[in-house]
Amino acid sequence: MATSLPIGQIHETEDARLIGLYAKREIAIVRGEGIHLFDSEGKEYLDLFSNYGVNILGHAHPAVNAAIKAQVDALSNCHSSFYNDARARFLDTLGELAPPELSRAFLCSSGAEAIEAALKFARVVTGRTGVVATRRAYHGRTFGALGATADKKYRDPFLPLLEGFSHVAYDDADALGAAVDGGTAAIILEPIQGEGGIHVPSADYLAAAQEIARRAGALLILDEIQSAFRTGSLFACQQGGVVPDILCVSKGIANGFPFGLTLVTEEVAGRIPAGSHGTTFGGNPLGCAAATATLTALRDADLFAQSARVGAHFLDALRGLGSPKIREVRGRGLMIGVDLRERATKYLRGLQEGGVLALSAGPTTLRFLPPLLLTEAEVDRAVGVLGGLLKK
Ligand SMILES: Cc1ncc(COP(=O)(O)O)c(C=O)c1O
Q: pLDDT at position 130, please?
A: 98
Say what the pLDDT of residue 359 is: 98
Going from the Cα of 303 to the center of ligand 1, the distance in angstroms, rounded, reads: 22
Residues in the chain: 392
Output the CA 168–ligand 1 centroid distance in Å: 20
Q: Classify 62-300 by CATH class.
A: alpha beta
- Listed by start position, the domains of the chain span 21-53+303-391, 62-300
Distance of CA 388 from the midpoint of ligand 1 (Å)? 32
Kindly give the confidence (pLDDT) of every residue in the chain, 392 residues in length, as a single tens digit, with 9 standing for 90 and above.
667 899 999 999 999 999 999 999 999 999 999 999 999 999 999 999 999 999 999 999 999 999 999 999 999 999 999 999 999 999 999 999 999 999 999 999 999 999 999 999 999 999 999 999 999 999 999 999 999 999 999 999 999 999 999 999 999 999 999 999 999 999 999 999 999 999 999 999 999 999 999 999 999 999 999 999 999 999 999 999 999 999 999 999 999 999 999 999 999 999 999 999 999 999 999 999 999 999 999 999 999 999 999 999 999 999 999 999 999 999 999 999 999 999 999 999 999 999 999 999 999 999 999 999 999 999 999 999 999 999 99
- Does ligand 1 come within 6 angstroms of the Cβ of 227? no
Residue 101 CB-density burial (10 A; 0-12 exposed, 13-18 middle, 19+ buried): middle
Pocket test of ligand 1: the residue of 55, 225, 261, 262 to mutate, having most ligand atoms within 8 Å of its CB, is 225
Q: Does domain 21-53+303-391 have CATH number 3.90.1150.10?
A: yes
| Confidence (pLDDT) at 214 | 98
Q: Check if 116 has its Cβ closer than 6 Å to any atom of ligand 1.
A: no
Instruction: Assess whether the region 21-53+303-391 and the region 62-300 belong to the same CATH fold.
Output: no
Nearest ligand 1 atom, CA 140: 6
Quote the ligand 1 centre to 144 CA distance (angstroms): 13
DSSP 8-state symbol, 240:
G
Torsion of CA 346, 350, 353, 359, to 10 degrees: -70
| CA–centroid distance, residue 6 to ligand 1 (Å) | 32
4: exposed, middle or buried (Cβ count in 10 Å: 0-12, 13-18, 19+): middle
| Three-state DSSP class for residue 92 | helix
pTM for the full predicted model = 0.98
- Which of 56, 109, 251 for mutating ligand 1's site (highest number of atoms within 8 Å of CB)? 251
Residue 136, CA distances (Å) to 133, 187, 214, 362 in order: 9, 15, 24, 9
Q: Are 80 and 285 in contact (CB under 8 A)?
A: no
SS3 of 32, please?
strand
DSSP 248-293: EE-GGGGTTS--EEEEE-HHHHTTSPTTS---TTTT-HHHHHHHHH
Ligand 1, atom nearest to 250 Cα: 10
Q: Residue 79 in 3-state DSSP?
A: coil
pLDDT, residue 260, reads 98
